[in-house]
Chain A
Amino acid sequence: MNIQLNGMKETIPDGLTIKGLMEWDKEADPDLIVEQNGKYIYAKDYDTQMVMENDVIEFINPNLGG
């Protein structure tokens, strides 16, 4: 399945949840927020929110400096 992840085209296994995608991407930063197709995904939904073909997903580091 093809998606765009952090601005890059990626081919990933079918049937991944957001949590699964984070594991596939070896992304372990606990502070990340997740955007899927322009929408904020809450952490409580990572286990159930499915990644679909052609999704645009971003793992975002919060900007907290001033």
Chain B
Amino acid sequence: MPDDSRYSRQILLPDIGPRGQEMLGKSCVLIAGAGGLGSASALYLAAAGVGRIIVVDDDCVELSNLNRQIIHSEASLGQPKALSAANRLAGLNSKIQVRPIPERITHENIDSLLTEGVDIMVDASDNYETRQVLNRASLRHGMAWVYGGVHGFDGMASVFLPGRTPCFECIFPHPPAAPPGKEVVGPAAGITASVQAMETIKLLLGIGESLANRLLRVSGLDMRVHILDLSPNPDCRVCRSASTKP
């Protein structure tokens, strides 16, 4: 099948068109995690033709992952998630470059991960600390990132743009008193990650109105979708300070 048919349905959109498709092909996205959120966002971004995708995750695939981590399969049980995800993405779209990095994202390695021409980071982590790493790296590098989080039937998403929006730690200023609960239904991750993928495509192309300065909340059990307006926190110790060191 010729390449030009792969993206034909989205090239038909005036906001994308051939030029937008070319822009996607020249883009690079770092996906921070290959779990429930990373599964869906990576698949959609690969399918959309984002030219380079870096998948970072230090976990291995477990059976308990498969209710939501749809990029993996029974055949990949025990494999590093980054490698399993990369294999699946390569099977979906052989025309893009996928780089698996089976490491945990830390304050120590994030800067080197971002030296490869990354345009946007997609948060697909499952903890506060990794998001803190992404947030501070975002501020240091002036790089947009797309937050997503899930719990139970619910999800949240937002876009953080350094200097133009509050930062993650303006909104969530401290780690939770207890680790996030592990209970989650698969579609909550799918809905949230789909929103993240949509926001990423919009940001890469400079189209539409992003979730910058807004926090999207989806309550799956009663299917309420709600948007909360965010404003900068003048007292934020992270983005309002001169230093954005870890």
Contact = CB atoms under 8 A, between A and B. Distances in A.
A65 B154 CA distance: 10
Contacts of B199: none
A60 B171 contact: no
A56 to B, nearest CB: 10
Interface string B13-28: 0000000000000000
A47 to B, nearest CB: 14
A63 B182 CA distance: 11
B91 interface: no
Q: Is the interface on chain A under 10, 10 to 19, 20 to 34, or 35 or more residues?
A: 20 to 34
Contacts of B189: 66
Interface string A32-66: 01010011101110000000000000101111111
Contact of B229 (A40, A58, A63): A40
Interface of A: 7, 29-31, 33, 35, 38-40, 42-44, 58, 60-66
9 contacts: A31-B177, A33-B172, A40-B228, A43-B173, A60-B217, A64-B128, A65-B151, A65-B180, A66-B35
